[in-house]
Each structure stands twice: as structure tokens, then as C-alpha cells.
Amino acid sequence: MIPAGKVAKYFFDKFPSIRPSTNGWYEFDWPFCGTNKGAIHFEAGRVKCWRGCYSGDVRHFVAEVERVTPNQAWKMLVGIDGEIFLESSQFKVSPKLKEEQAIPFPDFYHPLSNPTPLLGQRAIAYLEGRGFDVGELDEEGWGYCTDGRYYGRIIIPFFVQGKLRYFQGRTFLDNPLRYDNPKREDIGVGKEDVIYNEDALSLYDRVFILEGAFDAKCLGREATSTQGWSLSRWQRSKYLNSRAKEIVLVPDVGYYRKALETALTIAPVKPVRVLDLSVFSQWGKDVNEIGRDRVLSLIDSSELMDEMDVTLKLL
């Protein structure tokens, strides 16, 4: 991830009007739609327009401002000379987040930006082969391990407002165990206590639920994953109490009915869509194989459903 201190230096230099707001946000004069205000959350690395014309990550915002590519924006930010450090007391987070401590990355973790010979290069080749922008993944803390329990695994971080709360280890070698995830007794958190890209729940009016983080990352900034289709009580509460006005479930081919059953637990509170990827089964079984654009093309043709609609589909 881009150091928050470098992001702060960019914004304080670029926008002299910047000033503290509430809940960790800093307001500044928005450059894209007249005199309306924008806001930056340095810990979460998010930028938004109060009017609603934009909501996204720092890297893409800076790319728009500076008229460069996102990768060029990332290089510009990490290359900033000096940092501005803000007192953590200026960031008002919920009591629960104050109690939740960040966990460390696993032993032998390496960032993607400094690959070791052979194993690091193989990790990067694997991710590029799956269609990912390695620079973007590196910015978001993805890495790999060169030894220990997670040897030969991509480390997928789960951040909440800048704190590492969980991670997954996904093999890029020929290990028959595709995922090896930390246990609750190891770090105090289980997979049922986390959502990949949880910050999206407080940023977007529509969010996506997918089973895995790889597919969520492929789909985009509004996509989250729950590591399974049976939502825990905590996960369900997070979605029901989120800012999102609409929840879109995107199951792999063959899991449409299972996703409908999950949708039934959400639909009494928020309208849902469930995308049926079987129409693209010739391309693959999931978002990463089928492709983001094809999956998103299904949204407008998919029914927005309430509890009764979902119940009827399950009959």
C-alpha cells in the first residue's frame, strides 16, 4: 500500500484548503465539479466527492488529477520526498475497530515489488497469467512467501481502514491444498469474522458478494468476498447495516441456487440481484475466467428482487 504519510503530503501540498472533517475524513475543494467538497480518508486510502460524482481509491483519483495512468500515479506517490504524519487521535473509528488489533504478515512474506529470483518471478507470472495488474496488487499489500507454512503461496491481505485483519494463502505451485488460511487460534480471527474489501460497504451504494477474494479483486472496487456462501451472522449483519442500497451476488457456475439461498437472508432488508454465469460457461466457471466485462453485462438484465421474488425462484 502507499504510505499514508506520503498520500497526506501530496494532498496537503496539492490542496491548501484541506481541513479535518469527521470520522477520519479530511475535506478539500473538489477539482472536478465546481465548488463542491471532496474528502480523503488517509488510513483507508479512499477519496470521494460529497455530491457523489466519484468514490474510489487514492491511486485512481491522483491519476485523474494528474492525467496519468494509475501505475504512473502510484509511482509518483511512493516516490514523494518526505511524509506528513497525522496523529492517530484525529481519526475517529468505531469502538469495535479500536479493539481490533492489526495482525502481522506471515513469516517470510515478500512484497511483489521486490521479487526474489525464481520463486518471486514465478508468483508474478502466475498473477499476470490470471490477468491481474501486479503493481496494483502490490499497492494493496498482496505478496508471497518464500519459506515456512505459506511457502509458495500468494498472500491476499484483508485490510479494514488500513489495518491488516486477516490474510489468505493461495498456492501458485502445484500444492493440492489450494488455500491455507490462518486459524482463529493462531491470530484471534477466523474467516467467518472477515470480509475481503470490507471498506467497500461504507463507500458504495451497490456492492457485490463473491465467494473468493481472487474473483472479487477481478470484478473491481465495489466487490467483496465472504470465503463461502453460508454467511456468518457477523458477515450478514455487516451487509445489512452497510451503506449499500443494493446487493449483487455473483456465484460461480453451478452455485446459482446456493447464492439464491444466501440472497434470501439479505432480501428482507435490502434488494438483491443474483447473476447467473452459466450463460458464459463456455468461457469458464468464475469471474476471473469469464472476464469482468462479460459479468458486468449481466447486471441490467438481472432482476432486482425482494424476499418474495427470491422465494419464488427457489420453489
pLDDT at 92: 36
pLDDT at 127: 96
| Eight-class DSSP state of 192 | G
Whether pTM > 0.75 for this model: the answer is no
Q: Is CATH 3.90.580.10 correct for 4-92?
A: yes
Q: How far apart are CA 256 and CA 107, in angstroms?
A: 38
> Where exactly are the structural domains of the chain?
4-92, 103-189, 198-314
Cell numbers for 167, please give them: 490474510
pLDDT at 71: 82
pLDDT at 265: 93
Beta strand 206-210 with 246-249: parallel, antiparallel or unpaired? Answer: parallel
Q: Is CATH 3.40.50.140 correct for 198-314?
A: yes
- Architecture of the 103-189 domain: Alpha-Beta Complex (3.90)
pLDDT at 96: 36
Domains 103-189 and 198-314 agree in fold: no
The residues pairing with 113 across neighbouring beta strands, listed in sequence order, are: none
Residue 110, classed as helix, strand or coil, is strand
Query: Which residues of the chain are modeled with pLDDT < 70?
Result: 1, 34-35, 87-101
What type of residue sits at position 309? D
* CA 95 to centroid of chain Cα atoms: 22
pLDDT at 1: 62
pLDDT at 99: 38
